[in-house]
Structure 1
Amino acid sequence: MILNYIHLENYRNFKSCKLTFNEKTLIIGANDIGKTNILSALRILLDKSIPESALEPKDEDFCAYCETSEANEYSILLHFTNANEDCIRSGFKEFISENNEVYIKYKASRNSVGGKKEYEILVGPSLKLLEPVSTRFYLRVLNMRYISATRQIDKYLKTQKTKLLEYLKESRTQDEKISDEKKFKLLSKGVKEIEKDLNTLTFISRAGTKLNTHLKELSEHHQQQNLSLGVDLPSNEDLFNKINLLSTIEESNIHIGGEGRKNQAFIALWSALNVISIEDGQPEEISIFCIEEPEAHLHPHQQRKLAEYLVNNLKAQVLLSSHSPFIACEFQSDSIVRLHLNADFQSTTCSQQGVSKVVSKTINNLEYRLDALVSEVYFSDCVFLVEGTSEVLFYKHLALGLNIDLDRLNISILSVEGVGFNKYIDLLNSLGIPWVMRTDNDYQKYHRKSKELKEAYYLQGIRRLINIYKEKRTSTVIPGLEKDLTSIIEENADNLTENANACESRRKEMYDTFYPHLSKYGLFVSKIGLEEDIFNSHNEVRTALEHYFSPPKEDEEERKVLNDVISEMQKKKSTFMYFFTAEHTSVLKWLKTDPLADPLHSCVSIIKKIRGIENEEDSSHS
């Protein structure tokens, strides 16, 4: 049996959201986006640890973003498929359809905020045949096992350890039971002998004598009793309860201490219990494993290994919520669900209605390039795509110079070097992640045998943005633009391609024509290239560049100011950018109103709109 989807209507921060799942599913998204709320919705219907008395809806469970008519109702619908197991068929009986489907629904209502609240649970083989039920009768055969992000791992370990021992104790053969009983009797006798011998140690017996002497001086009561200090070893049943998880090093036992190791031990215990429960062929119950932030206390290598283990070893349906790019980059590409804000920038939705082949295809198109660094964008609220490492270095320091806190605003800057923009844009679009981009306004020479102009120079950067505008962005006219961008493209088609040489005046003309319009769509083009634009941006920046490339003043006799600083910038590329921006971050503040800074300001505007902080001045000081 597998949970196929959950559909939330007016529940907490979800107005209407359907999420489909696979056997293993990773739920990702920014903080406070609703990952825990999805698991909370599942818990209402499937978690045995939540008593019936705690199922009463609360005011905070009703969506705050609904229309007035909808504000006093919410529902949680679960759809299950492949209900083939014997335990499920006997547990649900007439509630299973001919196609082995089961629906479970929770409906809540209130007459007003703070008023009377009611709920009902419905079960059925289809949406039309749902019937109210008095209890969650199905929990003995269908349930979930849940670990919260704030888990008390020691408590969980103790509980799961006891369950494992009980499972194995019950599954012993008759011969094993007889053998264990004999050994236990011998051990019990040995325990008593050890206890007796320990109590004869001189310092222990003396301590008892001194204690009684002082006790008699304090009170006349119970004078006939003597207290003693001694070792009270556990009885037979207590001995069983005293068994703990230990780590053995060179035959010495130590308690498991690190939280990361305990986290791994707990998941291993879960897996062991899961294997035991199904190794006889038919399980007694179907459990869905739900873990919040499984990466807790684990270093990157172990986070990657954990993702692999959960996918390949845990023989059950598993739902994970995580903030780890190390887990995200290793997870099955067709099993990632990303939550993000809806078009209203209030309620939460998910890309592609859950797991999707569309997302899988865009991830797989990146091939080996999808690593933890790239996977960081899964958790971003906005991504700024640039051509290479130099741009990443420059814009991170420009953000610092402009007092734009990229991490606080959850903005990532990503280089598309070696891949191109399209594959990354497809990935971001499939996951519902807003993005902007910047490319060079470069010329490219083409040889055209069938054309009158055999050798033509194309303004490739602007053409690149036009293609992305047509294929990846909406072509809807943005209010406030004097002219539709589509008509501007048609009017200037020849100006972008029919050039006999790399004419600078034509480049400037096309930049001035297209920049105001393309930038409205988050599509930014250089005046020429990054290095040229930086050098020509502001006198303070140019002076800093000339000083950077000039020899020290003590070599005054041989000192020559370089005539071509731009060539030096391009020659040393990323190395130059790394050292120059690190040393001159404060100078970059002069670029606040320069077009170089426009993509960053665009990102900040997107974040402000998402968070509803249009007037918050300290977000970027821009």
Structure 2
Amino acid sequence: MHLKLEKVVLKNFRNFTEADITLNQKSLIIGANDVGKTNLIDAIRILLDKSLSENDIEPADEDFCAFSDCDSFEVLLYFSDITEDCINAKLGQYINDENNSMYLGYFATRDIEGGAKDYTIKAGPSLDLLEELHGRHYLKVLNLKYVGASRNVNNFLRSEKNRLLEALKSNRTKEQISTDNKNLEKVVDLMNEVQNEIDSLSYIQSAGTRLSEELNNLAEHHISQEIKLGIDTPKSKDLFKKIQLLSYINEQSIQVGGDGRKNQAFIALWAAMNELQSDEDQVEEVSIFCIEEPEAHLHPHQQRKLSEYLVHHLKTQVILTTHAPSIATDFNPTSIVRLYTSKDKSTIAAKGGASGEIAEKVKNMEFRLNVISSEVYFSDCVLLVEGSSEMIFYKALAKQLRIDLDKLNISILSVEGVGFKRYIELFEILDIHWFVRTDNDYFKVTRKKQEPKEVYRLAGIQRALDFVALRKDLNPEIDMSQLEQILRNTEGQLKELPSADDEHRTKMYDSFYEELNNHNIFIAERGLEEDLYFSSEIVSEKIREYFNMLVDDDYEDEEVIEAMKKKKSTFMFHFVQEYIDFLSNISDDELAEPLFKCKETIEELRHV
């Protein structure tokens, strides 16, 4: 086992009023933009990032939570499984001997907003036994290596390359040092020889002479110096600092180019350094690696590979933030931390962070969770529909209704059938707002021992009722009394029906529609095709025009609807492209209500 930052507790820090966030050995932090992923990382950095100066960690007014009237905030880190000798030697008095754990906290105060501010750093084996630390001496053995989203990859490459070479130089045997010194002398002699040969080139000499003359004309002090063109030959002890990462193709060297390639090279250097430290008998420090948006400049295949590499090749704790569904899809679900905005605008973590409950629901998705559906990890609201036709239709309708799905962070997701249950369970666990639009369809039931042999049930309404029951199981506080009363009033009218009667279906639709809406379920009057066709005269006219089945040609409504169903997604795709302007005519129809409800939910969430 290795040291693990197991929990981060934030109180009144930036957009966190009170949050306990559990992390795993490898953690992926996800959520919408501006939800607080970077703020969470900054909280950890205040205590663990040794690249931050004393001035950098001074509290500022913007660090105090704006959502609560406060003049103090806390960042508390809880570490478990502390077995490393270097940490015990430096921080042993603050470690709980019974369970090898420790608390490390940052406590900031201010007189008033804009007034004097102060902070203390404390550590201890328990919350009751925290002691003030004078200085950040612990960073020598316990720290965070951080790469931000806006990173200068070239600087990181240079510094990490030098660190790796310095570490490898220190680990050499006496025999290796002797051999290296002899070879280095040869290298220096060769470099000096190259410099002399360059000096002998006529155009190099001429350029140096002309440059010196012009400089002498500009300022007197240049006379005492001779200016030449040449190679900046380093001293032997600094030679490795001049070495660059090069890529060789057909024995020709070129500098490693492209930010994506450099990003991978930098992380490979990190891993190599980490491997070197892990192989040593005495680990001198424990570093937690934190990378924001590691997918930067990489295509999806390399994003997934990078995620797998960071998880399996770095022998230390890793914390990642991402906006890439391709990384979220393949990441271990036990290690996903989803941040979201609560009703009071503060940020919290679904299920308190990395959770077995979340993992269980993600695993239940089986093959259904792919790169497209993983988009919902980053959504604030999801509209679940049965198939691709509904998804095409509702995205086009949203555009005509001027409901900007991307701006509002709303996703429309097809479950490709009626298997809504697993999605609902996952969204409830992740605290993602969800709504369902489903058909009000009849199912035929064949009975072997009863007469009549064939009966029907209103499967759509029964399905919707199952979703409400599931929601109730997951949220016991939900009131179902009104729906239960409707069920009593309609007892025996949903199943074992002698025929698939449209009038009866409409009657049940009228009975259940409004109350089901209160439970996030929008049921069709019949199905998407029927409801769209009858939504307005102009829409039905355009559908007939699309199929060239005009009223004057004696085509019945049901024949047109059958043509719509036969072509299904193909019809919907081409129809909304060709006639999208006419969808605005159904803005007052019940077909549009799921979209307006999603929009209303987001606006309430953001207090628009």
Same fold (TM over 0.5): yes
- The one-letter amino acid paired with 1:581 is V
Contact in 2 for aligned 1:21/1:354 (Cα 8 Å):
yes
- The one-letter amino acid paired with 1:579 is H
Contact in 2 for aligned 1:82/1:100 (Cα 8 Å):
yes
Hey, what's the Cα distance between the residues in 1 that align with 2:76 and 2:451? 65
- 1:84 CA displacement: 0.8
Q: State the match for 1:249 in structure 2.
A: 249
Q: Which residues of 2 match residues 257-268 of structure 1 at below 5 A?
A: 257-268=257-268
Q: State the match for 2:504 in structure 1.
A: 506
Hey, what's the Cα distance between the residues in 1 that align with 2:487 and 2:386? 23
Q: Which residues of 2 match residues 350-389 of structure 1 at below 5 A?
A: 350-389=349-388
- 1:489 CA displacement: 2.1
Q: Which residues of 2 match residues 3-22 of structure 1 at below 5 A?
A: 3-22=5-24
Cα 1:453–1:488 change in 2 (3 A) is: farther
- 1:602 CA displacement: 0.6
Q: Which residue of 528, 531, 556 corresponds with 1:530?
A: 528
Hey, what's the Cα distance between the residues in 2 that align with 1:431 and 1:170? 48
1:30 aligned onto 2:32:
yes
Contact in 2 for aligned 1:289/1:318 (Cα 8 Å):
yes
Hey, what's the Cα distance between the residues in 1 that align with 2:49 and 2:508? 62
Q: State the match for 2:163 in structure 1.
A: 163
Q: State the match for 1:294 in structure 2.
A: 294
- The one-letter amino acid paired with 2:593 is D
Q: State the match for 1:318 in structure 2.
A: 318
Q: TM-score, normalised by structure 2?
A: 0.94
Contact in 2 for aligned 1:550/1:561 (Cα 8 Å):
no
Could you report, residue by residue, the CA deviation over 1:59-92 in whole angstroms, capped at 9, with x for unpaired residues?
Answer: 11111112x4xx1121111111111111111111
Hey, what's the Cα distance between the residues in 1 that align with 2:210 and 2:56? 54
Q: State the match for 1:620 in structure 2.
A: none
Q: TM-score, normalised by structure 1?
A: 0.92
- 1:282 CA displacement: 3.7
Q: How many residues align?
A: 601
Cα 1:193–1:460 change in 2 (3 A) is: same
Cα 1:221–1:593 change in 2 (3 A) is: closer
- The one-letter amino acid paired with 2:354 is V
- 1:239 CA displacement: 2.6
Contact in 1 for aligned 2:341/2:347 (Cα 8 Å):
yes
Q: State the match for 2:567 in structure 1.
A: 572
Hey, what's the Cα distance between the residues in 1 that align with 2:219 and 2:72? 67
Contact in 1 for aligned 2:549/2:560 (Cα 8 Å):
no
1:52 aligned onto 2:54:
yes
Contact in 2 for aligned 1:28/1:336 (Cα 8 Å):
yes
Cα 1:360–1:220 change in 2 (3 A) is: closer
Q: State the match for 1:63 in structure 2.
A: 65
- Structure 1, unaligned runs of 5 or more: 614-622
- The 3-state SS of whatever aligns with 2:323 is coil
Q: State the match for 2:590 in structure 1.
A: 595
- The one-letter amino acid paired with 1:86 is D
Cα 1:457–1:246 change in 2 (3 A) is: same
- The one-letter amino acid paired with 1:546 is R
Hey, what's the Cα distance between the residues in 1 that align with 2:241 and 2:449? 87
Q: State the match for 2:177 in structure 1.
A: 177
- 1:191 CA displacement: 1.2
- 1:221 CA displacement: 7.9
Q: State the match for 1:441 in structure 2.
A: 440
Q: Which residues of 2 match residues 79-158 of structure 1 at below 5 A?
A: 79-97=78-96, 98-158=98-158
Hey, what's the Cα distance between the residues in 2 that align with 1:337 and 1:413? 22
Cα 1:504–1:119 change in 2 (3 A) is: same
Contact in 2 for aligned 1:477/1:484 (Cα 8 Å):
no
Cα 1:540–1:3 change in 2 (3 A) is: same
- The one-letter amino acid paired with 1:598 is E
Q: Which residues of 2 match residues 205-354 of structure 1 at below 5 A?
A: 205-211=205-211, 227-344=227-344, 346-354=345-353
- 1:133 CA displacement: 1.6
- 1:581 CA displacement: 1.1
- The one-letter amino acid paired with 1:353 is G
Cα 1:185–1:460 change in 2 (3 A) is: same
Could you report, residue by residue, the CA deviation over 1:120-152 in whole angstroms, capped at 9, with x for unpaired residues?
Answer: 111111112111221222111111101111111
Cα 1:311–1:530 change in 2 (3 A) is: same
- 1:240 CA displacement: 2.3
1:606 aligned onto 2:601:
yes
Contact in 2 for aligned 1:14/1:347 (Cα 8 Å):
yes
- The one-letter amino acid paired with 2:342 is N
- Structure 2, unaligned runs of 5 or more: none
- The 3-state SS of whatever aligns with 1:494 is coil
Could you report, residue by residue, the CA deviation over 1:308-327 in whole angstroms, capped at 9, with x for unpaired residues?
Answer: 11111111100101100000
Q: State the match for 1:619 in structure 2.
A: none
- The 3-state SS of whatever aligns with 2:518 is helix
Q: Which residue of 579, 583, 604 corresponds with 1:584?
A: 579
Q: State the match for 1:459 in structure 2.
A: 458
Could you report, residue by residue, the CA deviation over 1:80-120 in whole angstroms, capped at 9, with x for unpaired residues?
Answer: 11111111111111211121111111111222111222221
- The 3-state SS of whatever aligns with 2:411 is strand
Contact in 2 for aligned 1:199/1:231 (Cα 8 Å):
no
Cα 1:224–1:37 change in 2 (3 A) is: closer
- The one-letter amino acid paired with 2:501 is C
Contact in 2 for aligned 1:144/1:288 (Cα 8 Å):
yes
Q: State the match for 2:412 in structure 1.
A: 413
Hey, what's the Cα distance between the residues in 2 that align with 1:471 and 1:551? 43
- The one-letter amino acid paired with 2:435 is V
Hey, what's the Cα distance between the residues in 2 that align with 1:318 and 1:215? 53
Q: State the match for 1:402 in structure 2.
A: 401
- The 3-state SS of whatever aligns with 1:162 is helix
Cα 1:144–1:443 change in 2 (3 A) is: same
1:75 aligned onto 2:70:
no
- 1:375 CA displacement: 0.4
Q: Which residues of 2 match residues 420-439 of structure 1 at below 5 A?
A: 420-439=419-438
Contact in 2 for aligned 1:477/1:485 (Cα 8 Å):
no
- The one-letter amino acid paired with 2:61 is D
Could you report, residue by residue, the CA deviation over 1:406-458 in whole angstroms, capped at 9, with x for unpaired residues?
Answer: 11111111011157000011111111100101100011122456877664321
Hey, what's the Cα distance between the residues in 2 that align with 1:287 and 1:583? 58
Hey, what's the Cα distance between the residues in 2 that align with 1:223 and 1:514? 96
Q: Which moved more, 1:497-506 or 1:429-438?
A: 497-506
Q: Using the aligned pairs only, state the percent identity.
A: 47
Hey, what's the Cα distance between the residues in 1 that align with 2:343 and 2:580? 36
